[in-house]
Amino acid sequence: MRITGVLLLLLCFFTACGEKHDHKGKTPLVEISGEFLYKEDLQSVLPADLSKDDSLLFAEHYIKNWAEGVLLYQKAESNIPDDDEVNTLVENYRKALIVHTYQQKLIEQRLSEEITEEEMKTYYENNKNLYVVDRSLVKGLFVKVPLKASGVNKVRNWYKKNTPENVEHLEKYSLQNAVGYDYFYDKWIPVSDIIDKIPLDVSDPEAYLEQNRHIEVKDSAYYYFLNVEDLLKPGEQEPYEFAKKEIKDMLINLKRVSFIGTVKEDLYKKALKAKKIIYY
């Protein structure tokens, strides 16, 4: 995206200033007391597909906000010189951030591997009352075909039954003819996700799907085919495969404190053994 108008003037004006600094290959746009805003940084946040006028307007606002932020910081810094309290807070925050990031990586690597499928299933079976569907879920298959596509009558037969042969026929057909194909016989998805793809004008989609498992509708351009193999309504038992991620995250959280405590204790013992800890 080209930077035009006032930005080009800024670019030309500050080229001379840029010669005195190592900009590491970047192109300076604005400088305030040694602080630089670069063209590359501006371009990285510039929204795509903006018109030339909108791009210029966005750039001008961004530059103004950047300048105000730099000026406010410099003003604040000049009024709080060498503040030990601020330096301590910054250092403490840096240490806490590094430790937190390290702990998160440890937890993701170690605890995720320790949570077994059997452990998750056992927890699910013992706590089914915690896992109840709060929105309608569906399993099935969806196909969207142009009105002028050939072989539509075959699709009408194939989509209604979940057999290996029918699915194979539909997959091959969809590669050449369909503009939409979703296979979800093997997983639960929210009803709203699939209903949004169909021009279905009904007041209660869930009730409609419960009574109509084979659905065919069309508009001015396409046929829409939906086979509903299974349906879960709010208040029913949430399936294990749908609750699995939440269960795993919960079990990891339960073990988090104990795990981090063990890591700290292990580091402490190793440091003592290596005589890295010196008491005076």
pLDDT score, position 20: 66
Q: What is the pLDDT of residue 15?
A: 47
Query: Each residue of 52-89: pLDDT tens digit?
Result: 888 899 999 999 999 999 999 888 888 876 678 888 88
Non-local (6+) Cβ contacts of 114 within 8 A are: 255
- Is the CB of residue 189 less than 8 Å from the CB of residue 138? yes
- On the question of pLDDT at 255 being above 80, the answer is yes
Q: What is the pLDDT of residues 158-214, one digit of tens each?
A: 999 999 999 999 999 999 999 999 999 999 999 999 999 999 888 888 889 989 999
Q: What does the alpha-carbon distance between residue 238 and residue 11 come to, in Å, rounded to a whole number?
A: 59
Query: Tokens 């006028």 appear where?
Result: 53
Mode of pairing for the β-strands spanning 35-38 and 137-146: unpaired
> Residue 1's pLDDT is what?
44
Q: Which single residue is written with the structure tokens 């929204």? A: 47
DSSP conformation class of 187: E
What is the three-class DSSP state of 138? strand
Quick one: which H or E segment has residue 150?
none
Q: What's the pLDDT band for 109 if we cut at 50, 70, 90?
A: confident
pLDDT at 12 over 70: no
Is residue 185 a contact partner of residue 141, using CB atoms and an 8 Å limit?
yes
